[in-house]
């Protein structure tokens, strides 16, 4: 018997998670994170329905970032729910602050030509180009080569990390506190890139859960 077509994403409401598991129990929260991530991704990929993919790409806009965070933000980085949380967070940053993201990208792209080619963002990037990348990455998770989608996101994060580091250096004399925050942000972006690259490798090996 064939699996029913997945017509719309399940609502990712924190109250739904609470009904499945005691929120104070880390093991059960982790189980919920993995179960919901597997369900959303596998059903979307099985459906091959562009309407479903579009709804999932815009999930944060309909459910809210807090709802997605409640299910997936505590998951280990190199897992399916952990990767999904990082991709949705990255998209949300692009949508909320395209000017900063664009500046970081412009500063970092010249020093990372290989990653720029993988990310596939025109230079200089317009806000629409950045949004298109964020949407394409998530679309690739739900319909396409998931490993390639993760690698594109990782390359994007590496470029942004390089740009943030350059920006921090430029601001060091005038704003040492701000420069320090940017340096920490660059380290966080680099760590995210490494985690997404690992997740891509795990997916190819059939080990990403």
Conformation bin of residue 113: beta by default, left when phi > 0, alpha when psi is -120 to 50 = alpha
pLDDT tens digit at each of 209 positions of the chain: 333 332 333 344 444 444 444 556 788 889 999 999 999 999 999 988 999 999 999 999 999 999 999 999 999 999 999 999 999 999 999 999 999 999 999 999 988 887 888 888 887 889 999 999 999 999 999 999 999 999 999 999 999 999 999 988 888 888 888 889 989 999 999 999 999 999 999 999 999 99
The C-alpha atoms of residue 100 and residue 60 are separated, in whole angstroms, by 20
Q: Cα separations (Å) of 109 from 4, 19, 121, 143, 152?
A: 44, 46, 10, 28, 14
pTM: 0.85
Tens digits of per-residue pLDDT, 193-205?
Answer: 999 999 999 999 9
Q: Can you read off the two tokens belonging to residue 137?
A: 């990455």
Domain ranges of the chain: 14-204
Sign of the CA dihedral with 30 first, then 202, 149, and 155 last: positive
């Amino acid at each position: 018997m064939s699996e029913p077509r997945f017509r719309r994403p399940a609502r990712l409401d924190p109250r739904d998670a609470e009904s499945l598991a005691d929120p104070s129990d880390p093991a059960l929260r982790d189980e919920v994170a993995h179960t919901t991530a597997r369900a959303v991704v596998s059903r979307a990929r099985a459906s091959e329905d562009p309407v479903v993919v579009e709804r999932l790409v815009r999930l944060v806009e309909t459910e809210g970032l807090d709802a997605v965070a409640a299910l997936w933000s505590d998951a280990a980085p190199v897992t399916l729910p952990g990767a999904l949380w990082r991709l949705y967070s990255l998209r949300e940053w692009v949508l909320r602050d395209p000017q900063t993201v664009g500046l970081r990208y412009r500063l970092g792209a010249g020093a990372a030509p290989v990653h720029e080619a993988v990310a596939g963002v025109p230079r200089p990037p317009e806000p629409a180009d950045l949004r298109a990348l964020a949407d394409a990455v998530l679309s690739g998770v739900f319909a396409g080569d998931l490993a390639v989608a993760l690698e594109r996101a990782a390359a994007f994060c590496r470029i942004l990390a390089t740009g943030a580091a350059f920006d921090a250096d430029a601001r060091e004399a005038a704003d040492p506190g701000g420069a320090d925050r940017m340096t920490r942000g660059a380290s966080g972006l680099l760590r995210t890139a490494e985690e997404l690259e690992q997740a891509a490798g795990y997916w190819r090996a059939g080990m990403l859960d």
